[in-house]
Structures are given as structure tokens and as C-alpha cells.
Amino acid sequence: MKKALWIIAAVATLLVVALGAAWRGGIIRAPWSSRYDRLVEQLRDRGAVAVLGGTPLGMPSVETALRDADGIPGLSAALRGEDGAAVGAALQRAHLDGLLVRVDGSLRAPGPPSSVAARLAALRPVAGMSAVFLDETTALYERDEPVTISPEDARRLVSVARLVLSGAAAPSERIFPESLRRARAVEVALVVRDGDAPLLWRSTRGGSVARALLDGSFAIINRWSTPLQDRYGRLRDALLTRRISISLFHDKGVLGARTPEFLRRAASAPAWSVGFERMASWEYVLPTLPGGAPQDPATALRTLATERSLPAPGYLRPEVTLYRFRALQLIEREPFGEVQIVGEP
């Protein structure tokens, strides 16, 4: 009898070990592991990623090398500090393709509440870092170059937009300073406002801030339709009494969870705005103006889905990808007036 029990125990132990190895190797999957499909997809083409707080229970094995952040020279100290750029530099020195952070409350972040680690775990903005994916358990961050615009360049961008919208020939990109011509993937939104209310807006993606702004100006011209002209007159005349604002979108990341509670935690205005992609179409909620009432992100997405005639259940449809993003806004205080810069890192 004892021998039979010993054999049963040995077989059970071997079975548990084999199942564990198969699970870690991705041969079998826990029934809840499909929740990590999008995270696994984000990790797929990365050679090595630092991990702060450990991987979540049930996450399947990935080919990406996952390295404990505490064992990477310079990274742990940078995470305890308050400089996001220092964290990005430590990742770059270690030839790492990102930082995976636990955000479900299980992480005891090193350093004070103002540390980079604490802010990343709380899904708060950190200059120099960008969350490319985030859900209720983890967030994947990358090193990012902060978006900055000088007051002189802000005034220059708004002035050029006004000239082009008023019918002037498009200037050569050479008239822009190097900081606005420098090659970088960027999305720029141009908004014509009636008071604070957006009257007409378009965003365009380009290889530089200057290029995206010029393309966005032509998109506005092409969309100044007959109903708008009947009400406000020609665009060049309407601009005499209307403000212009320009937004540079950045720190854009996929939202892997969709509950209202998660959206409020991860994408609350005014720090963040939200949008979605469906069938290669990008729709977004304009960033909140200073002093404006911040809109609940779940409500904003429902409204946006209704405005874009998205079939039920709206932004919860499986083919829809949700995003959060930040915006550096350049806002005329009055037509032809001073330009306010809002949302600097």
C-alpha cells in the first residue's frame, strides 16, 4: 500500500513538473492567459526588456529576454530618482528595448512617490519615457525624446498656419528653424476655434513638425465646406476673429483594458486624451483647453463612437484599438495674439 502511494505521489509530482515546463514553454496555456495576447504581441520584436516588479501570473513565455531591473547597472538608481531621461539613458546603455512595469499595486516602487518608478507604476506622465502599451497589470515603456517648443517657434508655427489658411502660398520648409525641420515621426493637429469651441480641425502625420503643420493647413482648407462658408464667410475672413491652436500629439500608447475604472486611472484629462483606430481610421478626442472641464475618458470614447457612427457596442468592439496620448498645445489667447504653450513635460 505504501509503495502504491509512493508511486502515485511520484507520478503526480512528475506530472506537475511537466505541466509547469509546458506552460512556461508556451506549449499549453492557462485559460486566463489570452488576456496577455496584446502584451505578448508588443514584446515580440524586442530583443531584451527590463522588468520592474516581476511578470504577472499566467503570462505565457516569450522569446524576448526579460531581465530584472534591479540587476541592471544604473537603472535601479535612475528609477529611484526623478529624471525620466536618466532611466531612458540607462536602458540605452544596457541595450534594452523597453521597461515592463507592474501597475496592479503589487509593486513596492523604490524611492519616494515622486520617483520615476512610482510615477510609471501609477501610469502618470514621465518626461523622457512613453508607455506604448498598458493594461490593468503591466505597462510597457520605451525611451522617448520629450516634445518641446520654444515661445518663438510657437509663434512662428501659428503665424505660418494663419498665412497658409488665408491663401498665401505654402512656404518652403527651409524657412523653419532646424528644430522644426528635424526628422521625427510626429502628429500635429490644427484647430480653428470660435471662442473656445472647436470649429474645424484636422490632424496629420509627418516626418517633421514643419511638414505635418503644412499638410494640416491644406487639410483644413479642403474641409472648409459650403455650410461653414455660408455661416462664417470665406476662411480668410473667418480667421480675422477666430483663434488658432496647434497640438503636437506624443506619448501615444495602446490601452489594453477598457473598463471605465481603468480608463479613468490611465487616461484622465487634462493630462491625457483618448482615441481609437478601426480599419485604419484614426479618431480622437481633442485635448482639453486650460480651464476647460475635463471629460471622463469612458464618456468621451462613447461620445466619439456615437459621432463616428460606430456600431454597438461602440469602442468595446473587438476590432477597435484604444489609445491614450498627450498633447503639447500652442494656443492663441486671442486672434493674432500671444501664444500660450500648454502641456510641457
d(CA 161, CA 306): 31
pLDDT, one tens digit per residue, over 65-124 is 999 999 999 999 999 999 999 999 999 999 999 999 999 988 887 889 999 999 999 999
d(CA 27, CA 39): 18
pLDDT value, residue 1 = 59
Share of the chain above pLDDT 90, in %: 77
Categorize the per-residue pLDDT at 25 as very low, low, confident or very high, splitting at 50, 70 and 90: very low
Categorize the per-residue pLDDT at 293 as very low, low, confident or very high, splitting at 50, 70 and 90: confident
pLDDT value, residue 345 = 64
Higher pLDDT: 8 or 304? It is: 304
Rg (the chain; Cα; Å): 24
Tell me what the pLDDT averaged over the chain comes to: 90
- The helix or strand, by DSSP H or E, that contains position 16, with its residue range, turns out to be helix 2-24
CB neighbourhood size of 238 (10 A) = 20
- The structural domains of the chain, with segments of one domain joined by +, span 33-143, 151-342
Q: What is the pTM of this model?
A: 0.86
Whether the per-residue pLDDT at 32 is higher than 60: the answer is no
pLDDT, one tens digit per residue, over 241-286 is 999 999 999 999 999 999 999 999 999 989 999 999 999 899 999 9
pLDDT value, residue 226 = 83
